[in-house]
Amino acid sequence: MSAANRGATIRAATPADVPAIFGLMFELAEFEKLTHLFIATEAGVHEALFGGRPAAEALVAEQEGEIVSYALFFQNFSTFLGKRGLYLEDLYVRPSMRGSGLGTLMLKQLAALAVERQCGRFEWSVLDWNQNAIDFYEKMGATVLPDWRIVRVTGEPLERLAR
C-alpha cells in the first residue's frame, strides 16, 4: 500500500521507521501539551508494532527521505455491528506539511484499508479544544459523537482494579 501527494509517499511502516515514528509521537505529545504523560520508549513502540504479537500498525508519509507524518492504528470490534473496526490512535502531520492534503490522504488510505478488511467502522478520538482538527474531520464526513466519553484506568488505579 502506498500513495503519493505533493512529493510525499505514504506506505506501511517498517522496523527501520520506529525511531522516526517515536520522534513524531513525542512531537504530538508536545503539540497536545501532554509530554508529562509521555512515558513510551522506542523499544516499546518497536515491540508494539513489530514484536511477536503486534498490537498496532502504522503508516508513514515520507518526503525527500524524511518521515513527516504517521498514523498509528489497530483493529477493534463492534458488538452492535458484529464486525471488526479500525481505530486510529494517532494521526500526526508535521506543522510544515499541514494544509498540503497529506492528512486527508492518510485518512483516505486508512478508510480504504478499513473497507478492504471489511470493517464496520473507522473511528478515532479528538481533543475537544482542537477545533481545527474537529472541523477537518467533519469536512471529511466524520461525525463527532457528543454523548460519548472516554473511560480510562492506568497506573496504580489499574493495578488496584486488577487485584
Catalytic residues: 137
If you search the block for the grid coordinates 482494579, which residue do you land on? 161
Let me know: does 24 contact 92? Beta carbons within 8 Å. Answer: yes
- In one-letter notation, the amino acid at residue 135 is D
Separation between Cα atoms, residue 73 and residue 55, nearest integer Å: 9
- In one-letter notation, the amino acid at residue 104 is T
Residues 6 or more apart from 153 whose CB is under 8 A from it? Answer: 161
